[in-house]
Amino acid sequence: MNGLFDEIKSAFNRQDNALIQLILINIIVFLGTAIIATTLHLLGFRSFYESYVAIQFELPSVLGSLIWRPHTLLTYAFQHAGLLHILFNMLFLYWFGAVIVDYLGSKRIVSIYILGALAGALGFLILSNTLLPHGTHLVGASGAVFAVMVAAATLAPDHTFYLLLFGPVRIKYIVPVLVILAYVGLGGSNAGGEAAHLGGALMGYIYIVQLKKGNDLGAWIFGLRDSITGLFKKKSKVNVSYSSQKKSKVYSSNASNNYNKASSPEDVPNQEEVDAILDKISETGYSSLSKEEKQKLFNASKEN
């Protein structure tokens, strides 16, 4: 069991691993709520779970209820109604999310997921307060996943998936079919869910179109994340000083016996190297530096 927890911890500590982290969060929330629901059911408090626990994750269609639970605009996208529900959502998130990561990097998969979830919530609320009766709730990552799927198809339409019985198929043919099915589903029993799918799909398309124009609609998500994580990061006590000269003279008068005076220009980091190391500390902390990077930082910290 400790090995499993270590693997999960490692997955969250790794950089550029946002896609797997999103999937793990969904699985952890699903299993956690399932355990709570089963425990309360066995104790005879099933109604308590439905009335006081589940609603903390579910997005309500009634705006009056939403005012008291605004966090559900996002939390609903990490809750699922059953095993098959989460299984298919996570599979599609993994397949199409990998395309986004390959082309745009790990960070932007988070932006698309969150923006898709918010757009999906908006689609659900609009339909629920115009055409559908009140009293319904929304759960599931489908809106966010549709945003990822459409974003991938808009960004790399000729990317190919190998489908069972069909062979290689470009995603520019797969995604439109799924969007059309979601639209047709507006006339079915899961109309609210389909509205969330379409809202997420629209956001995925808009995100990529704007990104190609140089507008990153998810930039605020990066800023918010950095602000929050910055509150918990330990600030390095290493003080670095450098002069305007291209090459610095490094002395070891205050150095530990384990370090020797730099004997060649290669031992002295230049301005760009120092800046890159400082950026890495700001992003991932001092402990993430390699032995060589720590040595360079040590050398640069000496007074000229």
pLDDT computed for residue 7 by the predictor: 80
Residue 157: per-residue pLDDT: 95
Which band of pLDDT confidence, cut at 50, 70 and 90, is reported for residue 249? very low
CATH number of the domain at 80, please.
1.20.1540.10
Burial class (CB in 10 A: 0-12, 13-18, 19+), 229: exposed
Q: Is residue 1 part of a domain?
A: no
pLDDT band per the 50, 70, 90 thresholds, residue 147: very high
Asked whether residue 244 carries a pLDDT value surpassing 70, the answer given is no
Closest of 28, 51, 30, 48 to residue 40, by C-alpha: 48
Q: Is 279 in the same domain as 139? A: no
The answer on 256 and 115 residing in a single domain is: no
Same domain, 245 and 198: no
Q: Does residue 126 sit within a domain?
A: yes
Same domain, 155 and 282: no
Instruction: Determine the pLDDT at residue 297.
Output: 66
Which of 196, 228, 260 is where one domain is finished?
Answer: 228
- 180 and 246 in a common domain: no
**pLDDT for the residue numbered 235:** 57
Q: How far is CA 236 from CA 14, 268, 269, in A?
A: 20, 21, 19
178 and 296 fall within a common domain: no
pLDDT, mean of residues 17-34: 94
Structural domain including 288 reads: 237-300
Same-domain status, 218 and 179: yes
Residues constituting the chain: 304
Residue after which a domain boundary falls, among 228, 258, 279: 228
**In this predicted structure, what is the pLDDT of residue 151?**
97
So what's the pLDDT on residue 274?
Answer: 72
Evaluate whether 111 touches 135 at the Cβ level (below 8 Å): no
Give residue 50's pLDDT.
81
Q: Residues near 66 by Cβ (< 8 Å), separated by ≥ 6?
A: 59, 60, 72, 73, 125
**How high is the mean pLDDT of the chain?**
82
**Tens digit of each residue's pLDDT (9 = 90 or more) over 229-238:** 666 566 555 5
5 lies in a domain? no
Residue bearing tokens 């390699």: 290
pLDDT at 112: 97
Task: Considering only residues 289 and 18, tell me which one the structure prediction assigns the higher pLDDT.
Answer: 18
Flag the least confident range among 186-195, 212-221, 231-240: 231-240
**Of residues 234 and 100, more confidently modeled:** 100
Of 82, 86, 112, the residue nearest 97 (C-alpha): 112
- Give domain status of residue 261, yes or no: yes
User: pLDDT-derived band of residue 191, with 50, 70 and 90 as boundaries?
Assistant: very high
Strands 137-138 and 59-60: antiparallel
Structure tokens at 181: 């099915």
- Please indicate, yes or no, whether residues 31 and 122 belong to a single structural domain of this protein: yes
Domain contains 7: no
Q: Is residue 264 part of a domain?
A: yes
Tell me how far apart the alpha carbons of residues 162 and 51 are, in angstroms, rounded to a whole number: 44
Whether residues 62 and 210 share a domain: the answer is: yes
Residue 156 clears pLDDT 80, i.e. is over it:
yes
Q: Specify whether the CB–CB gap between 301 and 289 falls below 8 A.
A: no
Overall number of domains in the chain: 2
Q: Which residue has the higher pLDDT, 135 or 129?
A: 129
Residue 22 near residue 109 (C-beta atoms within 8 A): yes
pLDDT at 136: 86
Pair 221, 248 in one domain: no
* Active centre residues (catalytic): 142, 197
Q: Compare 182 and 7 and report the one with higher pLDDT.
A: 182
Based on the fold, state whether residues 90 and 217 are members of the same structural domain. yes
Whether residue 53 lies inside any domain: the answer is yes
d(CA 184, CA 67): 31
Q: What is the pLDDT of residues 282-295, one digit of tens each?
A: 566 565 667 777 67
Q: DSSP readout, 41-84?
A: HHTT-HHHIIIIIGGGTSEES-HHHHHH-TTHHHHGGG--SSHH
Which region, left, alpha or beta, applies to residue 79 given φ > 0 means left and ψ of -120 to 50 means alpha? beta
Position 277 in a domain: yes
Give the pLDDT confidence score for residue 259 in this predicted structure: 37
Which single residue is written with the structure tokens 């670095």? Answer: 240
Same domain, 83 and 152: yes
Percent of the chain with pLDDT over 70: 78
Which of 18-27, 150-159, 217-226 has the weakest average pLDDT? Answer: 217-226
Question: Residue 304 — pLDDT band, cuts 50, 70, 90?
Answer: very low
Name the domain boundary from 228, 262, 291: 228
Mean pLDDT on 15-35 = 93
